[in-house]
Structure 1
Amino acid sequence: MSNEIPNLNLLTVFAAVIEQGSLSKAAEHLSTNQSTISTSLGRLKAKIGQELFVRSGRGVVQTAYASSLYSQIKNPIQELNTVFQDLGTFDVDSSERRFVMTAPEHLQSSLLNLFSDQKYKKISLEVFDQPEDDEKVYDGLLTQKFDVMVDIFPPNHPNIESVKLFDGDFVIVCRQNHPRINGQITESQYLAETHAVLERTRDKKRSLAHHTNFDISQRKVAYHGRSMFSNLLLCSQSDYITVVPLSMALQFKTHLKLQLFTPPFEYKKISNYLLWLKKFNQEPSHKWFREALIEASQERLSK
């Protein structure tokens, strides 16, 4: 084992493989190829004289030594990244920047409208729908496909930072002129009707199950939609009922001729968190973008 400090680039590659979970994702993250990543890991292994990763199936698993090494170098590497990011400049009036994010369906329109405002002439926003796979929920952040994401849960990843934007209500929705529901809905009515539900789950539970202890398994479900809007549209043309965030229901209440009801059972509000990589905490344009979203959440998104 050499007593010399390994090349910083080798340590950066090593840290990326740990954080991304695979050589291929680390290569994408660092804008290089898998062969370069493998070569760098080989050089680092030779330098320190220790095995860092072992093959497991189609991927690699870090050794105990690698875990220990990473725990000691991750903060210094993040601090160095911050130093170089702070050297950058960003001016909202003159700098051109396109931000990319993923967000829940009920916030997408408000977010896009925020950055279509002529106030930000050289700033634009691209919004993606949320991933459907729980196991890949953070992949877009970790590979830097997205600058930020909005999620209903705080993150459980050591390299991701978060802040709560706001808590929002949800409502039960049905069409006007519904044959059995008019002006109010009771708990027994809610269970007696036929439902359109969101097919997407988080932590193997449907969205509503995260926000109430009421036994929703008793519901009669007729339609499993992949979007809340498709559920709203179906309910506007049928006798089905559905549940959506209040902000989304208000967007379409008039156009789709909907009735909105506060749930007749106990429930918790929907929390919305802004998530980003810790390494971008002090990067000027990224910091401005986050602050703009936080400000917007107070002014528009929480309405």
Structure 2
Amino acid sequence: MNDASIDLNLFKVFLNVYQHRSITVAADVMGLTQPGVSGVLKRLQQQLGVQLFIRSGRGIAPTHQAHELARQIEPALNQIHNAIEGIERFSTDNSRRFVVYTSEPMMLMLLPKIEADQTLGNVEIELHPTLSSEEKLIHSLNQQKADLAIDFANYSAPSFFSEFFCTDEICIIARKDHPRVKGSLTLEQFYDEKHVTLKLRREDAYLADYFTEESIGERKVAAECDSLVSQMTMIANTNCLAAMVRSIANQFADRLDLQVLDAPFTSIPVKYRLLTHNRMRHSPANLWLREKLKSYFVSE
């Protein structure tokens, strides 16, 4: 086989099929027809002299040769893609819409900053709720449904790049006119009072439990919710307590007449990270987006 005779576009199609484990999905992502993608795979298999995929249920599964091929060519293709992208210059004069996956607290913090930014030009930054599992998030970024994700999980997926974004911490909130809690909170008071809890869907754990070093004992739970906003509203209208990220508690404390109290236990910092596919790491547009988002927190 003559190496020079193989079109690099064949490898791009192969890698998309390999990543999505689907000819149909890969065709949709690349804007090609299903027969066209099937034809490319057949041509590549003939040139390489190996079988790359086999039938598995209703879909396809990569062979050992496909795993090895993907492992070796993906870094090279990413380097080529990044080199081409690096030649171009990103400008806010051109229309561009970025999609960012993020959690509710980060969405509440970011949206006012984006709305107030007068330097975006013709660029739009659209925030979407992060997905319910790491697998779904990685798969969606692989399909280029979003440009970036902001999350407190530190992913180790080899095809993805992540970097530190910002830090938050856990606090406790109570209404200002609480009959027993005034300005500070002891551990005994924490267990004596009723709580409105917030469960993190992906980690299947409560917010306070996930970001504390100690093992928190059983609380008196009055209500459980899945939204910070509804949680704060319930606290403002009852004598319950709730664990909250401090940035959001400070943002809404005056409007909802809330006390923001130090947690009576050792909390672990909530460290947010930016996550994107390696192919986008050196893209001028993606670099601009990451630097723009980080600039909103420089003075804080």
1:103 aligns with 2:102: yes
Matching of residues 224-303 of structure 1 within 5 Å: 224-299=224-299, 303=300
Question: RMSD over aligned Cα, in angstroms?
Answer: 2.1
1:88 aligned residue: 88
Please give the secondary structure, in 1, of the residue aligned with 2:272.
strand
1:191 aligned residue: 191
1:118 aligns with 2:112: no
Task: Report Cα offsets for 1:152-174 as digits up to 9, x if no partner.
Answer: 01222111101111221121111
Please give the secondary structure, in 1, of the residue aligned with 2:213.
coil
**d(CA) in 1 for partners of 2:156 and 2:28?**
22
Task: Report Cα offsets for 1:216-265 as digits up to 9, x if no partner.
Answer: 35123232212111111111111222112111111110111111111101
TM-score, normalised by the number of residues in structure 1: 0.90
Matching of residues 27-42 of structure 1 within 5 Å: 27-42=27-42
The 8 Å contact of residues 112 and 125 in structure 1, kept in 2 or not, is answered as: no
**d(CA) in 2 for partners of 1:205 and 1:32?**
42
Q: 1:219 to 1:42 in 2, by over 3 A?
A: farther
Displacement of 1:180 after TM fit? 2.6
TM-score, normalised by the number of residues in structure 2: 0.91
The 8 Å contact of residues 170 and 267 in structure 2, kept in 1 or not, is answered as: no
- What stretches of structure 1 of length at least 5 have no aligned partner? none
Matching of residues 51-66 of structure 1 within 5 Å: 51-66=51-66
**d(CA) in 2 for partners of 1:22 and 1:262?**
50
Q: 1:200 to 1:37 in 2, by over 3 A?
A: farther
Displacement of 1:21 after TM fit? 4.2
**d(CA) in 2 for partners of 1:297 and 1:17?**
39
How many residues align structurally? 298
Range that drifts further, 59-68 or 201-210: 201-210
**d(CA) in 1 for partners of 2:194 and 2:226?**
17
Task: Report Cα offsets for 1:156-201 as digits up to 9, x if no partner.
Answer: 2111101111221121111121233222111122123222222333
Please give the secondary structure, in 1, of the residue aligned with 2:135.
helix
2:138 aligned residue: 138
**d(CA) in 2 for partners of 1:24 and 1:181?**
58
Range that drifts further, 165-174 or 216-225: 216-225
- What stretches of structure 2 of length at least 5 have no aligned partner? none
